[in-house]
Structure 1
Amino acid sequence: FNKSQKQYKVVGTAQGNYTALQQKIMAAAKSRNLPTIAQTTYTTVPDYVKNGFISPLDQYMLKGDDKMSSSDLKDIYPAFLSSSKYQGKYYSVPFSKSTRILFYNEALMKKYNIAKPTSWEDIKKDADKLKADGIAAIGFDKSFDMEFEGLARQAGNPLVSADPLKANLDSKKTLTAANFIMDMVNSGEAKTAGEDIYGDKNFTAGKTLFYAGSSAGITNMKQNAPKDFKWGTMPLPSYKGKKATELAGNDIVLFKSASSDKQKGAWAFMKYLLSEKETSKWAQLTGYVPLRKSAVKSADFKKYLSANPTSQAAVDSLGFGFQSTAFIGFSEYRNDLLNAVDAMLTKHEKPDQALKTLQGQTETIIKTNK
């Protein structure tokens, strides 16, 4: 960006991880020393708006000389654009995004004569062929919260609905999804990563046939899987006849404290990152997904996919991607959600009890922040 024009200069500062980034932003806000822009998960936007940290982007994004055209906006995948909006205004732009995908072990599929699953129900059936040899059909990360949210959506409701804001954590449909996963875990058909945090170790060690993980983990898999380990990727299968995959990653926000000139420069940089050429380039260099449909269709990206076929599944998943409903107090809710999953896994709490507790906690968060 700095080489592409002479008017603005972006100076980047890196933080180690999401948590460190969040702590840095909150500390900078207290000391009134915020940068012009920052990466953040879109779920922090409601809290930032409540605290008066960030400016809506509409005045730059939808108006003025440097706005985005309607064809630009239509070109960005709808799930990315809709999660940038809060209370009818754009407060962020998408940047580093990943999808949940299914990794598969080619040798085990061949050995046990197992085809690529089209549904989660198929995976459950495949488990019978593997049980005697102590192999789980599917591996999850330490927490299966993202797969759980996907299955709940496929069963018929989001964990938290957006309009009006409503918790559905103890609904019949949510419970169906939780029971489906926990039945597989309890029977040994599914395996969680435990202290490993991510399920790739169990997967590359041949302890699970499939692994439901982030497309952002493909680069890591290429680097760390044994050289003779043959694996592939595919979109997550359907459940109850519907497809869904949770999208994750960072957006970019603009802080209110920045001067007018810096805000204009920040928007120029955001728009540059959203361009077809740059989102394709960023995806190829990082393993994240392109934000635009035109970038996915570009000759350059098609060439990249033919050389890196394991990246195809993430792109194929974008059409049915979703993002969690963001609301004030989301980080507290997410901690409660992770605790509920942990209670089911390690404390052997029944799903209906764990989700009843989570429903109460979430209702309190929503009510407190009205």
Structure 2
Amino acid sequence: MWKVLVVLVIVVAGLSLAQTPQVQLVYWSRTGSGALGEGLTQLVAEFEAQNPDIDIELVIRRNRDHFAAVDAAAAAEAAGAGRQLPTIWEAFPNNTATYIELGLIRPIDDLLDLTPLDLADFYPVIFANDNFNGRLYSVPVSKSVQVMYYNADLFREAGLALPTTLDALVSTARALTLSDGDGDGLPDRYGYGLRPTTSDFAYYLFTLGGQFMDDQGNFVFNNATGVRALEFMINLVQEGIAFNGGTNFLDGPFGQQRFAFMVDTSASRSFVEQSATFALGITTLPGAREGDIGIADIQGTSLVLNKNATEAEAEAAARFMRFWVSPEAAGFWTQISNYLPARVSTQLDGDFANYLRENSNNTAIFRQVDHAAFEPQISTWSTIRFDCIERAIQRAFEGLQTPQEALDQAAAEAALVAAGTGSCSG
């Protein structure tokens, strides 16, 4: 279907030049230019071809510009400027929580009218990540999950099996580390690569059985499990078997063979593939125990609906959302973006099923998605994750505080930020 998309759109457009679409939707996206922007444009064109009574004005911006535009439009509306926000736009869960608090968006479960069979077809973790206060407020657009990338050539040359536990991760990193042969004081090659970021920390925290918040809304990432997770990361670097990438992306040094394997998001795949000059492998995350798959941090944006949309616009938006999560559309989008589809049945779609059979790397995200968790869905989370937690992780890495001290400070600050009574000290 997608190979004949351009011809189909041209034919439909030619047949309907004299027709005026009954409903116009404005869609703001953060996909940016390049392959993702082009792919999204194709998807919108295909939807319009199938639904000639709906016209979508697609506005594509870079991530920062997108959220700046949304914030400006929301502020203008609050100041009495009338409707400024688009009909639908992309949002992270913390943004969605903010928009709910401000009364900017509406729930969509009643519009989508999902049957029990539909609901059973959604990946539970993805569906839960779009639910707030028991209501569905969004559908996934750019959800990614962490996986393990590895230099298959180095593993083959060393005769090593892939690590399937955290203990094996350590021993494998040791085995693949090359000692300092050039006298620069650093290993010629590290076994593993990581970053002192909240996303990396989340993998170890979740895998060891921890969480950021408990069911009562208390921040608990500073408990014994959280401290153990942070100590695990720091010990890898201190032993000299893990490359510390700071806050920079890891695809570059991985491609330069500065280390042999790493954990990164499925959305990073295209960048990793461009950097790799060796046989690249992708697999699931090492777990806490043998037989367990590690728990990945799932992140990304979803599509939300303006509360002030007319009923006609809301129904048209619902049709687009149902189209978006259909196996055909989701399969096309996953192939070009490496983002997760919402439905399990996407794997059964003809074209996408062929894609999965082409390479075992293509199936890694589907084996991982059933072993994933997400970060708190609260409006203040962006500030907490970057300014409280990530800075605490970095202080611990730099030896300025012990892991316990750093996480205790971050948890105390997070509680103040969430309550609106304080900030992160950095």
Give secondary structure in 2 for the equivalent of 1:160.
coil
Q: Which residue of 2 aligns with 1:64?
A: none
Deviations 1:14-35 (A, max 9, x none): 1112x33222111111112100
Deviation per residue, 1:131-187 (Å, 9 max, x gap): 4432222112x44322321221222221122x2212012101111111111111122
SS at match of 1:9: strand
- Find 1:139's aligned residue among 177, 193, 197: 193
Tell me how far 1:258 sits from its aligned partner.
Answer: 2.1
Sequence identity percentage: 23
Structure 1: segments with no counterpart, 5+ residues: 62-66
The correspondence for 1:252, drawn from 293, 303, 324, is 303
Q: Identify the residue that residue 351 of structure 1 maps to in structure 2.
A: 403
CA RMSD of aligned residues (A): 1.8
Give the corresponding residue for 2:234.
182
Equivalent pairs, count: 358
Question: What is the aligned counterpart of 1:15 among 53, 58, 61?
Answer: 61
CA distance in 1, matches of 2:109, 2:152: 48
Give the aligned partner of residue 49 of structure 2: 3
Whichever of the two has the greater Rg, that structure is 2
**Which of 375, 384, 390 is 1:333 aligned to?**
384
Q: Quote the residue 1:55 is aligned against.
A: 106
> SS of the counterpart of 1:285?
helix
| Structure 2: gaps of 5 or more residues | 1-46, 78-83, 180-186, 422-426
Query: Distance between the aligned counterparts of 1:248 and 1:76, measured in 2?
Result: 16
Q: 1:303 aligns with which of 343, 354, 364?
A: 354
On the 8 A contact 1:154/1:244 being kept in 2, the answer is yes
CA distance in 1, matches of 2:190, 2:243: 6
Q: Higher RCO, 1 or 2 (CA under 8 Å, sep at least 6)?
A: 1
Task: Write the distance in 1 (CA, Å) between the matches of 2:316 and 2:206.
Answer: 39
> Quick check: 2:206–2:296 contact (8 Å CA) kept in 1?
no
Task: Provide the rounded CA distance (Å) in 1 between the counterparts of 2:177 and 2:116.
Answer: 53
Task: Note the C-alpha offset of 1:214.
Answer: 1.0
Report the Cα distance in structure 1 between the residues aligned to 2:275 and 2:202, rounded to whole angstroms. 28
> 2 CA distance for matches of 1:192 and 1:275?
40
Partner of 2:40: none
Secondary structure of 1:256's partner? Answer: coil
Alpha-carbon distance between aligned partners in 2 of 1:297 and 1:43, rounded to the nearest angstrom:
32
Choose which of 105, 113, 120 in structure 1 pairs with 2:151. 105
2:49 is matched by which residue type in structure 1?
A: K
Does residue 120 of structure 1 match 2:166?
Answer: yes
Give the equivalent residue in structure 1 for 2:28. Answer: none
* Aligned amino acid, residue 58 of structure 2: G
Q: 3-state DSSP class of the match of 2:127?
A: helix
Q: Distance in 2 between matches of 1:107 and 1:281?
A: 30
CA contact (8 A) 2:254 2:276 kept: no
Match of 1:91, as an amino acid? Y
Deviation digits for residues 298-350 of structure 1, max 9, x if unmatched? 33222102224322211110111211121131111122222122222346432
Secondary structure of the corresponding residue to residue 142 of structure 2? strand
- Select the residue among 29, 37, 56 that pairs with 2:88: 37
Question: Would you say 1:28 and 2:28 are equivalent positions?
Answer: no
Runs of at least 4 residues off by over 6 Å? none
CA contact (8 A) 2:201 2:230 kept: yes
Find out whether 1:172 has 2:224 as its counterpart. Answer: yes
**Which residue of 2 is the match for residue 191 of structure 1?**
243
Q: 1:206 aligns with which of 244, 247, 257?
A: 257
The equivalent of 2:344 in structure 1 is 293
Alignment partner of 1:269 is 2:314: no
CA contact (8 A) 2:325 2:341 kept: no
Name the structure 1 match of 2:140.
Answer: 94
Out of 249, 274, 279, which is 1:230 matched to?
Answer: 279
From 102, 120, 125, give the equivalent of 1:79: 125
Equivalents in 1 of 2:399, 2:70: separation in Å?
A: 35
Three-state SS of the structure 2 residue aligned to 1:121 is helix
**Separation in 2 of the partners of 1:304 and 1:132?**
37
* Paired amino acid for 1:325: P
Asked if 1:159 is matched to 2:212, the reply is yes
Change (3 A) 1:306 1:356: same
Give 1:3's aligned amino acid: A
With over 3 angstroms needed to count, the CA separation of the structure-2 counterparts of 1:200 and 1:176, relative to structure 1, is same
2:184 maps to none
What TM-score do the two structures reach when normalised by structure 2? 0.80
Q: Write the distance in 2 (CA, Å) between the matches of 1:308 and 1:128.
A: 29
2: distance between equivalents of 1:127 and 1:276? 39
Shift of 1:222: 2.5
Map Cα deviations across residues 107-128 of structure 1 (whole Å, 9 max, x no partner).
2112322211111210101233
* Paired amino acid for 1:292: R
Separation of aligned partners in 1, 2:176 and 2:52: 61
SS at match of 1:300: helix
Local SS of the residue matching 2:89: strand
Whether the aligned pair in 1 keeps the contact of 2:251 and 2:275 (CA below 8 Å) is: no
The answer (yes or no) to whether the contact 2:99–2:105 under 8 Å persists in 1 is yes
